[in-house]
Structure 1
Amino acid sequence: MIKRWLITGCSNGLGRALAERLAAEGDQVLATARRPETLDDLAARFPGSLRTAELDVRDPDQCRSAVDRALAAFGGIDILVNNAAYGQFGALEEVSDAQLAAQFDTNVFGSWRLTRAILPSWRTQGGGHAIFVSSVAGLVAFPGLAAYNASKFALEGAAETLAVEAAHLGVKVTILQPGGFATGYSAALSAPSERIDAYAPIMDGAFEAMSNMNSNPAINSPELFAEVVWRVSRMPSPPLRLPIGLDAEAMLKSAYADRLDEFDKVIAARQHTDG
């Protein structure tokens, strides 16, 4: 069955790989990017299934226009993929208010705006599927990514709440938690507004690790991401959360175990104190 998609952040990386895979499968795709000319080659290769639109998710008018374009072109939207995001580097003290606001405006508020714009059509048609591209950083804290971590934690909270609020409307929600992928993420990290020497022993190592991420021979490929999302889109009951990549599975499993262990210790200590 052909699905109708609206995908954000398609100029490169995960969004581009997904748009290409879906168009090749014959689905109808509105691939969006801040610079839509980066998608001209895909539009030329898949003239019958892929269309493009300019979309900066920080712009409410462009969010509404993208939804309207997809509805007019396809007669409806079955799946929204909130993928547009970037990483702000820096320790918590090094990141300015403006940088923090910009990080949330793209990674959280953009997804919120677009989902809110699409929900009226889903209420009318009796459902839809909202896919939020989070990260292992939506659960695991990484030094140097305080703002990014905070945005992904917030994104997952909003998405999980939507799943509870809109299930009776036929709306499905999936939170994707990718591990390390061969994309331009690390190269596009924004530098903090200031460098504080006291954090250098941690920040320098963290930045080097992220900068060298793509050289890891075991890093996940964007094609794996596209394959997983395509399969999820065909599930009658897709999962709420889904790790993507063996590294993601290992990191998340360890994080859950650590949190449960800490929880058990706190409860045991409280019971001992109460007793």
Structure 2
Amino acid sequence: MVRRWLVTGCSSGLGHALASAAARAGHRVAVTARKTAALEDLTAAWPGRITPIALELRDPAQCEAAVRTAADRLGGIDVLVNNAGGGLFGAVEEVSDAELRDQLETLVVGPWRLARLVLPLMRAQGHGHIVNVSSLAGRMAFPGLGAYVAGKHALEGMSQALAAEAGPQGIRVTVVEPGVFATRYGTALTEAGRRMPEYADATAMMLDAFRGLADDAASGRPEDFAARVLDVVGADGPVPLRVPIGDDAYAYLDGAEQASREELAAARALVQGPPPL
């Protein structure tokens, strides 16, 4: 079945790999980046299957134009993949209001806006699939990534609500949670304008680890991520709301689930006292 995709953040990394994989599989894909020049290799590699669109995710008018262009060029939108994003590194006290708003505009408001724009199209078709690309930070927290963690937690909460709202109308919603993949995330990570020595011990090692992700031999291949997303979208049966991608993702989330259970038990013991004999 040929599907019509709108994928954001396709200039590199996971979005670029996903767009290539979808086009290779015969689908038609509208791809976005802030500048369409960054999409020329995709357009050249898959003529007739790739539609490049300029999109600044924080600009409401550009979001409306991108959805309208994708729907007009492709004849509709079957799959929306909210992939575009970027990280802000800084302790909670270091991050300014403006920096926080900018991070949340990219990670939450933009994807929310695009979902709102495609929903009428999908509802009229009687089907559709919205895939929101989260991360391990959607269910875990890391020192120095408070703003990013807040954004991904919010994206997952919105997705859970949307799945309950749109599911009865034939629209699927999936959150994919990639582990560590060889992308430019670490090198592109923006640091807060204010850095405080009081938080160096808590955050320095984490920043170094993220900066080195692209050179980590253990990092996953973006092509493998893309293949798993195609599997999710092409699945005939029910798909879980949250789908971790990568062996390391399952290992980390197993640990996070265990820690959550232990925290719940500790909280119960604190407020309810010991269980009756």
- Preserved CA contact (<8 Å) 2:187 2:214: no
- Number of aligned positions between the proteins: 275
Aligned pairs (5 A) from 1:200-239? 200-236=200-236, 237-239=238-240
- Preserved CA contact (<8 Å) 2:187 2:212: no
Letter in 2 for 1:123: R
1:55 is aligned to 55
TM-score, length-scaled by structure 1: 0.97
**How far 1:41 moved relative to its partner?**
1.6
3-state DSSP of counterpart to 1:168 = helix
Deviations 1:51-100 (A, max 9, x none): 11001111111111111111111211110000010000010001111100
Measure the CA separation in 1 of the matches of 2:78 and 2:239. 14
**How far 1:21 moved relative to its partner?**
0.8
Measure the CA separation in 2 of the matches of 1:273 and 1:42. 61
1:249 is aligned to 250
- Preserved CA contact (<8 Å) 1:220 1:245: yes
Deviations 1:148-185 (A, max 9, x none): 00100001000110001111111101001111111110
Measure the CA separation in 1 of the matches of 2:102 and 2:234. 34
3-state DSSP of counterpart to 1:32 = strand
**How far 1:251 moved relative to its partner?**
0.6
Can you give the 5+ residue segments of structure 1 that lack an aligned partner in the other structure?
none
State the 4+ residue runs in structure 1 displaced beyond 4 angstroms: none
1:39 is aligned to 39
Measure the CA separation in 1 of the matches of 2:43 and 2:128. 25
Letter in 1 for 2:268: I
TM-score, length-scaled by structure 2: 0.96
Letter in 2 for 1:28: R
**How far 1:201 moved relative to its partner?**
1.1
3-state DSSP of counterpart to 1:5 = strand
Measure the CA separation in 1 of the matches of 2:214 and 2:42. 24
1:165 is aligned to 165
- Preserved CA contact (<8 Å) 1:13 1:184: yes
3-state DSSP of counterpart to 1:94 = coil
- Preserved CA contact (<8 Å) 1:11 1:38: yes
- Preserved CA contact (<8 Å) 2:108 2:155: yes
Q: What's the RMSD between the two structures over aligned residues?
A: 1.3
Measure the CA separation in 2 of the matches of 1:34 and 1:205. 31
3-state DSSP of counterpart to 2:158 = helix
Identity of aligned residues (%): 47
Aligned pairs (5 A) from 1:1-275? 1-236=1-236, 237-272=238-273
- Preserved CA contact (<8 Å) 1:91 1:203: yes
Can you give the 5+ residue segments of structure 2 that lack an aligned partner in the other structure?
none
**How far 1:274 moved relative to its partner?**
9.0
Measure the CA separation in 2 of the matches of 1:108 and 1:265. 32
3-state DSSP of counterpart to 1:177 = strand
Letter in 2 for 1:149: V
Letter in 2 for 1:12: S
